[in-house]
Amino acid sequence: MRIVLLGAPGAGKGTQAKIISNKFNIPHISTGDILRHEIKGESELGKKAAEFVESGKLVPDEIIVEIIKNRISSGGLNNGFLMDGFPRNLSQARMFSDMLGELGIKLDRVINIVVNESEIISRLSRRITCSVCKSIFSVNNSHRNLEKCPNCNGDLIKRKDDDLKVIKHRLEIYESETRPVTDFYADKGLLVNVDGCGEEKEITKRILEVL
Ligand code: AMP
């Protein structure tokens, strides 16, 4: 199964990507997670990417292309893959199409998780993430005092780009740069919109129904 998961920041891509990739036993490829890993390790790539990620701007395409090429050439994708956070603009989408075409691979589905803006702002302002297993939690009554991840005991962190000003900037960039990618895949007959509001399990069920 070869899947691309689209949606605004905070639509629930990361949470659903983990569940769906486990279910189909396919690698979950998150360009955001790869970038945060490189930034934490202070690699050359991480140093180039840091200012973009932290201010909510898109990282230049050449860095993203390098990440995707490296990930594809490292293998393990015979069963398929689930792309989360890539492609993020039209030039990445075209480049990815060309890359898959050269490898003789076709995408099966592009899922667009749809959530309204006020819900997104509320979710991202409350989001905390495990720095180790990448599980995502919300600071609500049951998770208010969490410091360690209940799944792996890793440190829970608030992402720098989950600050309100940066969230608003990321949403603007989503509208101008990433929304056209949904049209690109709709024209290819691959896009399915899925309502991203409601319980996590309910949203997973909606996604599985269209896969
Ligand atoms: P995400 O974890 O998908 O929300 O991504 C976090 C940040 O990483 C984004 O706001 C961008 O700065 C950067 N990023 C992730 N994926 C991409 C991509 N495909 N193209 C450009 N920048 C990206």
* Residues tagged active-site: 13, 88, 127, 159, 170
pLDDT digits (tens), the chain, 211 positions: 999 999 999 999 999 999 999 999 999 999 999 999 999 999 999 999 999 999 999 999 999 999 999 999 898 898 899 999 999 999 999 999 999 999 999 999 999 999 999 999 998 888 898 989 988 888 875 666 678 999 999 999 888 888 889 999 999 999 999 999 999 999 999 999 999 999 999 999 999 999 9
**Tokens linked to 201:** 């399990």
DSSP notation for 175-209: IIIIHHHHHHHHHTT-EEEEE--S-HHHHHHHHHH
Strand partners, 29: 83
pTM of the model: 0.88
Ligand 1 pocket test, candidate residues 53, 62, 71, most atoms within 8 A of CB: 53
> Ligand 1: does its nearest atom lie under 6 Å from the Cβ of 12?
no
The atom number, within ligand 1, closest to the CA of 35 reads: 8
CA of 35 to the centre of ligand 1 (A): 8
Residue 109: CB atoms within 10 A of its CB come to: 16
Alpha carbon distance 59, 34 (integer Å): 12
Ligand 1 pocket test, candidate residues 15, 33, 58, 115, most atoms within 8 A of CB: 58
Asked if 72 contacts 99 with a C-beta cutoff of 8 angstroms, the reply is yes
The dihedrals phi and psi of 146, each to the nearest 5 degrees, come to -70, 130
Strand partners, 6: 112
Going by their DSSP bridges, the two strands 28-30 and 156-157 should be labelled as: unpaired
At residue 35, the pLDDT reads: 96
> Ligand 1: does its nearest atom lie under 6 Å from the Cβ of 10?
no
